[in-house]
Amino acid sequence: MIPPRFEYFAPATIDEAIQILDRFEGEAKVLAGGQSLLPVMKLRLAEPRALVDINRIPNLAFIREDAKSLRIGATTRTNDLNDSDLIHKRYPILSDAAYEIADPLVRNMGTVGGNVSHGDPANDLPACMIALGAIFHLRGPKGNRAIPAPEFYQDTFVTALAPNELLHEIEIPKAKAGQGNAYVKLEKRVGDFPIVGIAANLLIGSKGVIQAAGLALTAVGPTVLKAVEAERHLVGKAPDEAAFARASEIAKGIANPTSDLRGPAEYKKAMVGVLTRRALHRAADRARGGA
Ligand SMILES: Cc1cc2nc3c(=O)[nH]c(=O)nc-3n(C[C@H](O)[C@H](O)[C@H](O)COP(=O)(O)OP(=O)(O)OC[C@H]3O[C@@H](n4cnc5c(N)ncnc54)[C@H](O)[C@@H]3O)c2cc1C
């Protein structure tokens, strides 16, 4: 399949990329790994007049931790999350998710920025970003904006990104002692998009009580869902089966999946309950220093 004609630009700086996006007044798209954009162009579901390839902009691919945050650059490849010791040891939720995204070819091309910017409710990384409390740093003609991940996702394929803005960095609060997280995904075949995915992040204090909780659901609503009430329920509780079972019931209550080739809606909803408990137990084990 051949996409419609488009102009191609390969800017050398973020500002140059933004100028081109701005000039096309909504008819240009950012090209990152191309693993989602090119298929939709080939299917003629998107017909941008121009593509702005951000892969030649220097210093846009990085994973680094500073005194306050973990910072991930937009063109960091999905596979870089798998290859990073820092991610495995301190932010394992991200390597859990990255390991199960598609296959090595797609992971080598697809970017973290593209995965979170696409706005597909079945992308795996958005739920992890919400559970971790990530902030997305955007830049456009009027300057920089910092958007908390839950506010970024507005509807299916609709995000807070303006057509002339670029996501350049994801900032995640630095991991603390007593923090553990996990992403659990149910898929039909290895490498498939999720039937359901659950991202859980817990901070367990020295008295053994949950101090903070992040919980988000993939592929069971029009967009990624933050399970706010379930998070509230967990805070102040011991990280045990009773607390996790109740949180899972609450999370199930907000899931609103549709029936499709990946399964009937009732099955997916039931799986939200099962996977939420699993993700919370795994996050708690990791918070206690387990694998
Ligand atoms: C066979 C296959 C299986 C897959 N399975 C999974 C899976 O299981 N789980 C999963 O999560 N994903 C899956 N994907 C999607 C894959 O992870 C994509 O790489 C990812 O969703 C998009 O990243 P990209 O870098 O390729 O973005 P692109 O395709 O280049 O762009 C996607 C969209 O985001 C915009 N965009 C990209 N980067 C930026 C930026 N920095 N700022 C602003 N806008 C930007 C583009 O304009 C476009 O609208 C699969 C893809 C394929 C082909």
pLDDT of 159-174, one tens digit each? 999 999 999 999 999 9
Ligand 1 within 6 A of CB of 123: yes
Residue 1 has pLDDT above 90, yes or no: no
Over residues 212-228, mean pLDDT: 98
Residue 21 has pLDDT above 70, yes or no: yes
- List pLDDT tens digits, range 256-291: 999 999 999 999 999 999 999 999 999 999 999 875
Give the CA distances from residue 40 to residues 4, 58, 66, 116, in Å, rounded to whole numbers and listed in that order: 11, 27, 37, 16
Ligand 1 within 6 A of CB of 121: no
Q: In the chain, what is the straight-line distance between the N-terminal and C-terminal CA atoms, in Å?
A: 44
Q: What is the pLDDT of residue 291?
A: 55
Q: What is the pLDDT of residue 277?
A: 98
- Round the average pLDDT of the chain to a whole number and report it: 97
CA–CA distance, 225 with 115 (Å, rounded to integer): 16
- List pLDDT tens digits, range 50-64: 999 999 999 999 999
Ligand 1, from 9, 30, 166: best to mutate by most atoms within 8 Å of Cβ?
A: 30
Q: Set out the domains of the chain in order of their start, with CATH numbers.
A: 7-53 (3.30.43.10), 63-173 (3.30.465.10), 179-287 (3.30.390.50)
Give the CA distances from residue 45 to residues 39, 48, 130, 163, 168, in Å, rounded to whole numbers and listed in that order: 9, 10, 28, 17, 25
pLDDT-derived band at 191, boundaries 50, 70, 90: confident
Tell me how far the alpha carbon of residue 279 lies from the centroid of ligand 1, in angstroms. 24
CA–CA distance, 132 with 168 (Å, rounded to integer): 18
Over residues 163-190, mean pLDDT: 97
CA–CA distance, 273 with 203 (Å, rounded to integer): 21
Q: Which residues contact 105 (CB under 8 A, 6 or more apart)?
A: none
CA–CA distance, 174 with 13 (Å, rounded to integer): 28
Over residues 29-51, mean pLDDT: 96
Residue 36 has pLDDT above 80, yes or no: yes
The radius of gyration of the chain from alpha carbons, rounded to an integer in Å, stands at 19
Q: What is the pLDDT of residue 176?
A: 96
Checking 56-64 for CB contacts under 8 A at 24+ apart, the result is 56/10, 56/11, 56/12, 57/11, 57/12, 57/13, 57/14, 57/17, 58/12, 60/14, 60/168, 61/111, 63/87
Helix (H, G, I), strand (E, B) or coil at 61: coil
Residue 71 has pLDDT above 60, yes or no: yes
pLDDT-derived band at 108, boundaries 50, 70, 90: very high
